[in-house]
Structure 1
Amino acid sequence: MINKNILILVIDDNKTMRRIVRTLLNQLGYNNVEEAEDGVSAFNMIKEKNYQLVISDWNMTPITGLELLQQVRAVDAYKNLPFIMVTAESKMENIVEAKNAGANNYIVKPFSASTLETKLNAVLDK
């Protein structure tokens, strides 16, 4: 049984996209959601709170979602933090790069609530 009260951090430089992801999460019963607009602030938030899942956009500045993932994975305390990459890029090499950097899963935009649910279940149902 998946705990839907987990603390989730959604990171995207696009406010509308953050709102869409939050709405989809809410529809799936995940209501404990916080947002960050870039990787730098997200990493600071990760250091301050005990997030149980990170959903991050790939294409952001000043650091990309991939760079954020690499920073997160470089800290022992966050090696097992579930991390889902979201991007408009469906190129196989990007998916491989994200997996190699330690992403637990990968979602290509645009996506539905059912796609998000499938990815969440794959990552959280251990």
Structure 2
Amino acid sequence: EGGFKHGNTDGVGRFAWPDGAIYEGGFKHGQANGKGTYTFADGAVYEGIYTYAEAFRAHGKYAGMTKGGKAHGRGRMTKDGAVYTGEFRDGQADGNGKYISAAGDVYEGRFKGGKPDADGKTKMVGV
């Protein structure tokens, strides 16, 4: 819901994901930008200033905390049907998080440098 420009959300609006997560606030080029509130599916809320970064367009859609134009802190990134929700550091999944592949496979646990780092819970679809 909200404004559109060149086929992307632009201005103030609201975006809801199927798992119940919601972002309400400013958008630029389809990305969270400016003052906004992100409510995670687990009910946790982050209110703050979101910074649009061109780099996020190459990596997918991102909503969450940023530092120096990169995903940093708690957030959610979607790309090619896959979803990662959790902690980021310097633009990569780093810390506790949950990754759901486009096929529906799930990994929940620790990440380091964008990859699973330790024993976590894995659920493979069709296995």
Same fold (TM > 0.5): no
Q: Where is the strand percentage greater, Structure 1 or Structure 2? A: 2
Larger Rg: 2
Q: TM-score, normalised by structure 2?
A: 0.31
Where relative contact order (Cα < 8 A, 6+ residues apart) is larger, the structure is 1
Q: TM-score, normalised by structure 1?
A: 0.31
Q: Where is the helix percentage greater, Structure 1 or Structure 2? A: 1
